[in-house]
Chains A and B, each alone.
Chain A
Amino acid sequence: MWKTVARRTVIMIPQIFLLSILVFLLAKAMPGDALTGLLDPSIDPAAIEAQRERLGLNNPWYVQYWDWITKAVQGDFGQSFRFKLPVAELIGQRMMNTIWLSLATLVLTYLIAIPLGIISGRYHDTWADRFITGYTYLGFAAPLFIFALLMLWVFGFHFGWFPTEGSVTPGTKPGTWAYAASKIYHILLPALSMALITTVTTVQLLRSEIIDTKQKDFITTARAKGASESRVYNRHILRNSMLPIAAFFGYEITGLIGGTVFIESIFSYPGMGELFLSSISLRDFSVVTALVLLYGAASILGALISDLILGIVDPRIRIK
């Protein structure tokens, strides 16, 4: 087992390296550099040139890359010219919001997927199954941003059941119960909107796994030996069908990254995705590159988690 982990982790290193180079080159390709935002336009060009030289902006790209990456590893991503704050600090403020949103979405995703998948798989070809399958069809086709927009329109604006923006009611004191309640209240509609769409693949996967497992010989054997129907389902079918779902977990993380960008933008939720979009519109590129790097690292980690779970679950694909 440790070999699988080791090998998979070894594969990760060049991926992260490549990612950092890509992000760096992207940053270089973007119009303007670290000085564009900092400087007063009235400063004399010669002074700017001196400043550029001092900051190493005239060095060859690999030297600049090395400077950038060594700082990035230490958590120094430069300054945001918009907020006049270190990028790391800025992201730190937003990161918790995105993590809470993602966690809530994940929890809701599985809370929806597991019962629906089990009902649909266990009683397949009944009306309940047809209804659930219809929902998954719809959810599979519907783009997240359209669905979220409709949810916001209907439940946020039309009925007014949920707040339509922000992550907490302004003026609430952190640490109080009211604060926590307000946070949960603000997170509910965005998380539900995302979960209702992302859960669809998991429902489909669980359903087909259960239907497949139902027809396997060992289930027939279990029945033949006189195991009760509930025992057959709980001990044999579910246990075997849940494994692929577990393995899918890491990829959910990757999927969430794209999702949160849309959701945070639509619900004006102050997370990293919203920060990413506003920074890119305002050309605050040091924030943008840091975020792309961070999101990329999260994706790589998600894939790693999935592969490792898959390795634990299915001994056949373990690396020998």
Chain B
Amino acid sequence: MPFLEVNDLLVHYPVRGGIFNRKQRVVKAVDGVHLAIEQGQTYGLVGESGSGKTTTGRAIIGLSPITSGSVLFQGRDIARSGTRMPPAVRRDIQMIFQDPYSSLNPKKRVLDIVAEPLRNFEKLSAQEEKRRVRQLLEQVGLSAESIYKYPHEFSGGQRQRIGIARAIALKPKLIIADEPVSALDVSVQAQVLNFMKDIQKELQLTYLLISHDLGIIKHMCNFIGIMYKGRYVEQGTTADIFENPQHIYTKRLLSAIPDLDPSKREKLAKLRGAVNAEYEQFHGSYFDDEGLAHPLKAITKTHSAALP
């Protein structure tokens, strides 16, 4: 039994309009996603904007309503529509948000922000609560003195650490990190990512990392899923994807990763040309009439792709 299993997940949004505001068509943000994550792993979800990766993450944690499908967390269905997530599961799954500016309430002190989950789940005395918050802040590398400060007094990287402190306050098992560093300066990105790796070991966390940046994904993840227009295009271990890409869309994504070594510039340009030519040529057969990917086909035990 996998730690987290998502089966045939559909998230559709109605588009309303017309004189009587009726449903006119649906936007298929997520259209049949399967994924399975083992405990302690980091699973990377990659795709361009609008591919449905963020919606998938939000659907798992219950922020986006699920149209159909199931989300099994440790074998328990946690996302049946119309029911609230059981509190025990709510504690175990937390989220790190993309924008460190809007994800912290500007009117709240750090103490109130980090203590919010504790106040909901644990009845602590004010003293005990403060001690825990200070401890958490130290854990994420911030000064314990900052508990009375407001979010605007911190830099982006520091704010993201506050967000992480809030996420780990309840000692969760799974953390969904939605583009956790894309709003940060490049110089700070590596810091935050390495720090996320450290606390993963420390707290035995499982990550679902959502990103559009293949460099980050390669650095962080053991297992990767690639999404395009709400569907999976390819999934496999990091080695499967980076060394043996099968789908033309994956190949194209990989060829777009910049290389800092100028001597390889020409080689890379040639490779891109070849991949592009292949993409143009086989586009029709790799995607269906609506331009969507086909169902996944297994290639090896770990590797599958949406081949024609």
A1, chain B: closest CB distance, angstroms: 13
> Quick one: which of A296-320 are within 8 Å of B by CB?
319-320
A6 touches B17 (CB 8 A): no
Residue A7 CB within 8 A of the other chain = yes
Residue A158 CB within 8 A of the other chain = no
Nearest CB to that of B19 among chain A residues? A7
Chain A neighbourhood of B86, CB < 8 A:
none
Interface footprint category on A: under 10
Chain B neighbourhood of A7, CB < 8 A:
18-20
Number of A-B contacts (CB under 8 A): 12
How far apart sit A7 and B16, CA to CA, in the bound complex (Å)? 13
**What does the 1/0 interface line of B193-228 toward A look like (CB < 8 Å)?**
000000000000000000000000000000000000
Residue A216 CB within 8 A of the other chain = no
A320 touches B19 (CB 8 A): no
Residue A10 CB within 8 A of the other chain = yes
Residue A225 CB within 8 A of the other chain = no
A176, chain B: closest CB distance, angstroms: 52
> Quick one: which of B17-42 are within 8 Å of A by CB?
17-20
Chain A neighbourhood of B17, CB < 8 A:
319-320
* Interface of chain B, main secondary structure: loop
Nearest CB to that of B24 among chain A residues? A320
Chain A neighbourhood of B19, CB < 8 A:
3, 6-7, 10, 319
B291, chain A: closest CB distance, angstroms: 24
How far apart sit A320 and B20, CA to CA, in the bound complex (Å)? 11
A14, chain B: closest CB distance, angstroms: 13
How far apart sit A108 and B17, CA to CA, in the bound complex (Å)? 41
Nearest CB to that of A3 among chain B residues? B19
B26, chain A: closest CB distance, angstroms: 16
A318, chain B: closest CB distance, angstroms: 11
B158, chain A: closest CB distance, angstroms: 34
> Quick one: which of A53-91 are within 8 Å of B by CB?
none
Point out which of B17, B18, B19, B20 has the most chain A C-beta atoms below 10 A from its C-beta: B19
B17, chain A: closest CB distance, angstroms: 5
B198, chain A: closest CB distance, angstroms: 46
B22, chain A: closest CB distance, angstroms: 12
Chain B neighbourhood of A320, CB < 8 A:
17-18
Nearest CB to that of B15 among chain A residues? A320
Chain A neighbourhood of B20, CB < 8 A:
7, 10
Chain B neighbourhood of A319, CB < 8 A:
17, 19
A101, chain B: closest CB distance, angstroms: 37
> Quick one: which of A127-142 are within 8 Å of B by CB?
none
B24, chain A: closest CB distance, angstroms: 9
Chain A neighbourhood of B18, CB < 8 A:
3, 7, 320
Identify 9 new A-B residue pairs, CB closer than 8 A, beyond the known A10-B20, A319-B17, A320-B17.
Answer: A3-B18, A3-B19, A6-B19, A7-B18, A7-B19, A7-B20, A10-B19, A319-B19, A320-B18
The 12 sampled A-B contact pairs (Cβ below 8 Å) are A3-B18, A3-B19, A6-B19, A7-B18, A7-B19, A7-B20, A10-B19, A10-B20, A319-B17, A319-B19, A320-B17, A320-B18
Q: Which residues of A does B touch, CB under 8 Å?
A: 3, 6-7, 10, 319-320
Ordered nearest first, which 6 A-B pairs have the shortest CB separation? Answer: A320-B17, A7-B19, A6-B19, A10-B19, A3-B19, A3-B18
